[in-house]
A and B are shown apart, each in its own frame.
Chain A
Amino acid sequence: MTLNQFGRNLVNMDIFTDAYRVTGRAAVGAGGIHAELSNPNSNFLDLHDAYISRIHEPGSIIASYNLAAFRKDNINFIVLTDRRDGVPVGTQHGRSIFTRGRPVPAYVTVPSFEIKGELIYEGKASPNAILTQALGRFLLIFSATASASLHPDISYSGDLILIHKERVGILCLEKPR
């Protein structure tokens, strides 16, 4: 993580749209990328040093640009290697609103991908309640792996994956541990 000229953090991330994987850095504040995605004043997210790959050839870089803008609506999900880049996780004295609760094994599908990991939810978890009540436009799946539906050998793992709620096809939950 590095600082940009306005003192905000530049965090590394992989952003997935329907057909592309874009690796780059986005400027975030104390609320992490989740706060940027939930910001109602902008429908766009800027990504610095963007390196673009096709979904079916995710290792090959086909183009690179200093700056790329994404329509937030068109982002399927974002993979982060560190959950602290995504949301405030709290302090040693208490967890934040995003990390308070019990881990619930979850399975989510979005176009072209299926994602497995853990939701952290306080209260009785039901798929319906989570999709309607969880904070922000993006669902948080911790310790998650996204596998390409047509190429299961292509997968991406992250400490946190943020999934666009409106792109969710199926959300399944197991009983909380």
Chain B
Amino acid sequence: MANIFVIDDDAQLLQMVGLMLKRGGHTATLINNPFEGLEKLKEAKPDLLILDVMMPGMSGHDFTRHVRDKEDLAYLPILILTARAQDVDRVTALKSGADDYMSKPVTSHELMERIDSLLSSKQPVVKPGREGIILSVFSMRGGVGRTTLAVNLATALRRLTREEVCLVDFSPSGGQAAMHLRIQPKVSWDDLAAAERLDPAMLKDYLLLHQSGLRLLAAPMLPQLATKPSGEFTTSILKMLRERVAFTVLDLPPMINPAVRASLLASDIVFHIVTPEVVSVQVEVQATRALIRFGLNLQQKIHVLNQITPEIQLPASAVEKGLGTRLPFQFGFDEHQSRALAQGVPLAITTTQSPIPTVSLNMAEAIWQKIVKN
């Protein structure tokens, strides 16, 4: 049984949703005014919030932003329930920080299913005293969609688990992750590295908050020397993140520099991205040899196939044969990605049923299952 706040200016609908929740075994607090809702949230923290968009004086989107700005409510599950039923409304709701979206009218069964899903995903994955997980997304070849997959994997993990997820863009050549999230970074790991001392309280100021709840340690906008950041700095940062964040996703540059070496050694899983092309497979085979030479013969290595163009040069089976391993995660070409990049909305926070969000969520689910089982 959960304590649920319902905020809607439509008295009839409020009563109806309240009745559905009571029949579903939940306690419902019905509020017909967003300002009163904000006041009530100061007094009590519900397990879930159901929110209308169209309310006089303050829209549901603005309400969600207010809630997300508050530290203690940043992770409160929010379900938007609105008559605005278009795709653009769904994206706006998710961008404002809501966790899920339903359009009116809604059946009792559908509503209960969504509520159960939101409440179950709220269960903490990382128990007290248990360390977080570090995941690297890597390829020695550029232009294979590495940042796209890292951003979407991080977003999918955040969406699925509601845990603290941090994306770190370790690229020294002008990061792209911020662009994918439409964040203009005022600080980056370069500023953090330049600070006199490094402590956890300080680190928090450098983690930029995306509307989805994802945090980003951005790369500097201006290209840096390839030797930056240092291995020692990288190790310290990752240690701090592991202690505080459930999932840290590293977007690694296509090179072996001190930061990449330290990251690969610290990672629990390394996703190697290959495209279905002969060159990509060749580069990956050579990269594996190089990594062994550098003492980075990683056990937790998973190959991921990413088709970045509509044309397929090699079938997946040929790529598997060339690499001598199977490809558990295969991203087909996603025509929506260019639009997502232009809008700064990762596909994994939308409900688009296309390859990138679908496979990203599958990856997140597999990681989550692995942790739950362990």
Contact = CB atoms under 8 A, between A and B. Distances in A.
Interface residues of A, number: 21
B91 A81 contact: no
A4 to B, nearest CB: 11
B12 A49 contact: no
A61 B54 contact: yes
Interface in A117-143: none
Interface string B34-54: 000000000000000000011
A95 to B, nearest CB: 24
A105 interface: no
A109 interface: no
Interface in A41-74: 49, 51, 58-61, 64, 66
Nearest to B342: A153
Interface string B1-28: 0000000001010000000000000000
B56 interface: yes
A154 B343 CA distance: 11
B92 A60 contact: yes
Given A23-B83, A51-B54, A61-B54, A153 B343 contact: yes
Contacts of B57: 64
A77 B162 CA distance: 40
Contact of A64 (B10, B56, B85, B89): B56
Main DSSP-derived SS at the A contact region: strand
Interface in B210-250: none
Given A2-B12, A81-B85, A156-B88, A61 B104 contact: no
Interface in A134-177: 153-157
Contacts of B54: 23, 49, 51, 61, 64
Contacts of B91: 59
A60 B85 CA distance: 14
Interface string B74-99: 00000000011111110111010000
Nearest to B343: A153
B314 to A, nearest CB: 31
A12 B83 CA distance: 7
Contacts of B86: 14, 58, 79, 155-157
A59 B85 contact: no
Given A14-B86, A59-B92, A153 B339 contact: yes
Nearest to A153: B339
A14 B92 CA distance: 16
B59 interface: yes
A49 B8 CA distance: 13
A128 to B, nearest CB: 32
Contacts of A61: 53-54, 59, 61
B194 to A, nearest CB: 38
B351 interface: no
Given A51-B84, A60-B61, A64-B59, 18 more contacts: A2-B10, A12-B83, A12-B104, A14-B86, A23-B83, A51-B59, A58-B89, A59-B88, A59-B89, A59-B93, A59-B95, A61-B53, A64-B57, A66-B56, A81-B85, A153-B342, A154-B88, A157-B87
A-B CB proximity, top 4 nearest = A59-B92, A12-B83, A61-B59, A51-B54
10 contacts: A1-B105, A12-B104, A14-B84, A51-B53, A51-B59, A59-B95, A61-B54, A61-B61, A64-B54, A155-B87
Interface of B: 10, 12, 53-54, 56-57, 59, 61, 83-89, 91-93, 95, 103-105, 339, 342-343
